[in-house]
A = this chain, B = another copy of it.
């Protein structure tokens, strides 16, 4: 695949759990340069949001709301936290990222392209036949993805399986997974939560994008989750509540998660669905509706 690596000047990595192994030699690993610089990350978020709007507008369908709410989460992970190398997406010791709420893939595609995994100039082929940017993440088309998702409820289990494999291999790899808050209604999430707590899969970090809206409306009206922190705690997870749009808080929380042993960590990331675009914010309509051309222009005018 023609993957032009983006060269962005970056600070030193925040987390340096990584130690040289045979893999780095075999795979010729050149870690993606991580940064803690919040201004820089904010800039990445801004261009990611613009990209999301452009992609979905071009596709004329897709899910802007949940892509925009997860922007800081995904950007912070790829730019501050994950040990990864876009030139070697199958490096065994890499950290894993799974977007369990696969419908929000525009944010993932935008960030992965920005990191150099895949071409930026094809992002606007989103949802077209043959595009590597499928309507939901599909490893057949974009092998750098860790998982094909789109059927809600499955990503946490996958991350736990990857966490177990890393432990068996004595690998420092960690697995990160983003769930939607509506998604948390799936029973499989609680099976996985029970498993993770019981087996102490502490190299897994789960992030709930708590944007308070699902497909048919507000979570509190469809199937309320409160008290969500109590739920996860009673399933023996280390719970951190954060402002999911505050990059500094996210960085701290991810560091705390990495330091937490004997328990997996879940971040309840309070977010705003549609964040960054005034008329999309907290508006259930934009869960799964593409902006019109005019709306897109208005949105891009706000995203500066």
Residues of A within 8 A of B (CB): 185-191, 194-195, 198, 223-225, 227, 230-231, 233-235
For the complex, give the distance between the alpha carbons of A224 and B234 in Å: 11
- Inter-chain CA distance A233–B187, complex, in Å, is 17
- How far apart are A152's CB and chain B's nearest CB, in angstroms? 12
Q: How far is the CA of A188 from the CA of B190 in the complex (A)?
A: 9
Name the distance in Å between A231's Cβ and chain B's nearest Cβ. Answer: 4
Select one of B187, B195, B224, B230 contacting A190, CB under 8 A. B187
* Known A-B contacts A187-B189, A187-B191, A191-B185; A231 and B223 likewise in contact (beta carbons under 8 Å): no
Q: Is the interface of A mostly helix, strand, loop or mixed?
A: helix
Identical chains in the assembly:
2
List the B side residues contacting A231 at CB < 8 Å.
Answer: 231, 234-235
List the 9 shortest-distance A-B pairs measured between CB atoms, nearest first: A187-B187, A230-B234, A190-B190, A187-B191, A231-B234, A187-B188, A234-B234, A187-B190, A198-B223
Besides the known contacts A187-B190, A230-B233, A231-B235, 12 further A-B residue pairs in the complex with CB atoms under 8 A apart: A185-B191, A185-B194, A186-B191, A187-B191, A190-B190, A194-B223, A194-B225, A198-B223, A198-B224, A230-B230, A231-B234, A234-B234
**A224 contact set on B, CB distance < 8 A:** 198
In the complex, what distance in Å separates the CA atom of A227 from the CA atom of B223?
A: 23
Closest to A225 in B: B194
CB distance from A40 to the nearest CB of B (A): 39
Which of A186, A198, A224, A233 is the most central at the interface, judged by chain B CB atoms within 10 Å of its CB?
A198
Q: Using Cβ atoms and an 8 Å threshold, which residues of chain B touch A223?
A: 194-195, 198
Complex formed: what's the CA distance from A225 to B194 in Å?
Answer: 8
- CB neighbours (8 Å) of A198 from chain B are 223-224
List, sorted by A's number, 15 A–B pairs whose CB atoms are closer than 8 Å: A185-B191, A185-B194, A186-B187, A186-B191, A187-B187, A190-B190, A194-B225, A195-B223, A198-B224, A227-B234, A230-B230, A230-B233, A231-B231, A231-B234, A233-B234
Chain B residues within an 8 Å CB radius of A235: 231
CA distance A234 to B186 in the complex (A): 16
* Bound-complex Cα distance A198 to B223 (A): 6
Query: Once bound together, how far apart are the Cα atoms of A235 and B194, in whole Å?
Result: 15
